[in-house]
Amino acid sequence: MRISCQLPAVSWRALLPLVVVLPQLVTHAEARLTRAVKDVARADYDFIVVGAGTAGCLMASRLSESRSTRVLLIEAGGSDEGIQEAVVPFFAPTMAPNKPWNWNYTVAPQVELNNRTFPYPRGRLLGGTSSVNYLVYNWGSSDDYDRWANHTGDAGWSWSGLERYRKKNERMVPPADGHDTTGQYDPAAHGKRGNVLTSLPGWPTEIDNKVLNATTQIPGYPYNEDMNSGDQIGIGWVFSSVGNSKRSSSSTAYLTPSVLRRPNLDVLLQTQVTRLISSKSSKQVSFKRVEVAQGPRSPRLTLRARKEIVLAAGAVGTPQILLLSGIGDPKALKRAGVKPIVSLPDVGRNLQDHALLPHQFYVNSNDTWETAAREPKVMASQVAEYNTTGKGPLVGTICNHIGWFNVEKNHSMWQNHSDPAAGPKAGHYELVFTNGFVGVIQPLPDAGNFMTVISNLASPASHGSITLASANPWEQPIIDPGFLTSHVDLLVMREAYKSARAFVKAPAFNGYINRPYISSGAEEDSDEYIDEYIRNYTTSVWHPVGTAAMTPARSKKGVVTPELLVKGVEGLRIVDASVMPFIPAAHTQAPVYVIAERAADLIKAAWRLK
């Protein structure tokens, strides 16, 4: 491993530029990657997968396992090879915003967040958002998936129905430092032979023991040995998509050199799908052609799938493509200048996301991220350690522990509001414990060392939308997550705020935490102050889902059937986060993988592929 580093001044989010050369990276130069549309325009494909993200790389890999099937994978961005920030786990926050391998979306002004707007990153490269996220590999609770099954009428989406796909996706490997993991997880809950490498934290931080000790000192914060076992309530060790000290993305896990050398798989880069093209069959409208271009001024060409088009462009990209293709609410399509072809009003609706709120605290320590961010010699030492041993602070993501919690059943908020959580095993909110300053929209202070407790709204009741700004496929859609538009979400975030502040008052933090970074100066903040803090500093965890939700096959609501087929059309299936009917109380990377693993088997069964 080799990294060379030239450090800028202060922010831990800007520790690069780096040059990373790691010998175990996927070498796409050996593979069937083409950057020219003309190379594939005349080819004959059975399946065209749109989007090489978390789900798309998996789908292309699984479908091309059948030697008799020809598969094309189309990605709007480029290769992930050589993007150093995508390799080193700790540098995940430097992957966004305003980077060339990102779509660089921005949310519409959020009415309940004082009309603020902010970046909304989604990956635009091989691996998609699995190549730019913060690497947390978290399934959610059994209640989340059982709710999917009950909602769709398909037991295959239940926790037990998906067990084999969880195991099929994951390969749990030792942490980077090789420490004894006894008591830190349940091996029976994890896969051992899957594609995505996962591991426990490979570098201890000063706050680890403090967090764990606090679980024994104050009520309401129990230790959970393995929150990926189906019941996630409590605080436990985080699982990350990290193996051999490097990020494990859907690209590195599923588009390995041997997969990319398959003669029946092609990957088309730097090519955007501008719309799907319909034709009339004897029974219904068929969508088996995609229109593509490599830029706004480039010629548009049409590619055809003999069997199916698989849309895997994500919870933002998928509804945008559907709408541009004339699939959606007819009235809204006409307003945007698109000819309606199929009436599916729920396309782009039901957008759900997790709201994020940081709580920073000054600490009596210099063993936090800020030291390396401000002192080039310290960072150089960490880089050297990573280069020579594959160990040290750079081998992990931003947290070693997370926790999930419920607002108590007798709380007054439930007198006037329905409980949005899937069940008692799914949290209303999450706490993330980080050994440094996380601000998202706040710059790193010039002085001081910090601990941050991030609170995330895990089971939101609010819904937003993805709509077209125009009929121009090169114009970003309007992304409105609708944060806190349901009042119960504000109430839950208020409780999460109080919970974060209460947790750091445990005896374990005596003498360590000085004071909050932002405070009203009051001993106990009022609800009015808390609500204003929430409105001023809340952003997103960047977990959009639900914009092409699955519902029962005969239901007039929703967008896809439980088999993920687009309703009312032929030849089109969706496989990504957009099909989730409810957002899980989880980081959404792992749930997308399990959706895609099952979807691959559904397609193989439908077409009798071996």
3-state secondary structure 440-455: CCCCCCCCCCEEEEEE
- Residues ≥6 apart with Cβ < 8 Å to 92: 85, 132, 133, 134, 135, 247, 397, 398
Walking along the chain (610 residues) 10 residues at a time, the average pLDDT comes out as 31 37 36 62 89 98 97 96 93 92 97 98 98 97 98 98 98 98 98 98 98 97 98 98 98 97 95 95 87 94 96 98 98 98 98 98 96 92 92 96 97 97 98 96 94 98 98 98 98 98 97 92 80 97 98 97 97 98 98 98 97
Question: What pLDDT score was predicted for residue 522?
Answer: 66
Question: What pLDDT score was predicted for residue 43?
Answer: 78
From CA 524, how far away is CA 567, in angstroms rounded?
A: 52
Q: Can you read off the two tokens belonging to residue 603?
A: 């397609």
CB distance 392 to 203 below 8 Å? yes
Question: What pLDDT score was predicted for residue 192?
Answer: 97
Mapped onto helix, strand or coil, the DSSP state of residue 54 is: helix
CB distance 592 to 583 below 8 Å? no
Q: Shortest CA distance to 73 belongs to which of 54, 94, 47?
A: 47
Q: Which residues lie across from 570 on neighbouring strands?
A: 286
CB distance 268 to 40 below 8 Å? yes
Question: What pLDDT score was predicted for residue 22?
Answer: 32
- Residues ≥6 apart with Cβ < 8 Å to 574: 310, 311, 312, 318, 548, 559, 560, 564, 566
Question: What pLDDT score was predicted for residue 6?
Answer: 30
Q: Shortest CA distance to 413 belongs to which of 485, 490, 486, 488?
A: 488
CB distance 599 to 312 below 8 Å? no
SS (H, E, C) 491-544: HHHHHHHHHHHHHCCCHHHCCCEEEECCCCCCCCCCHHHHHHHHHHHCEECCCC
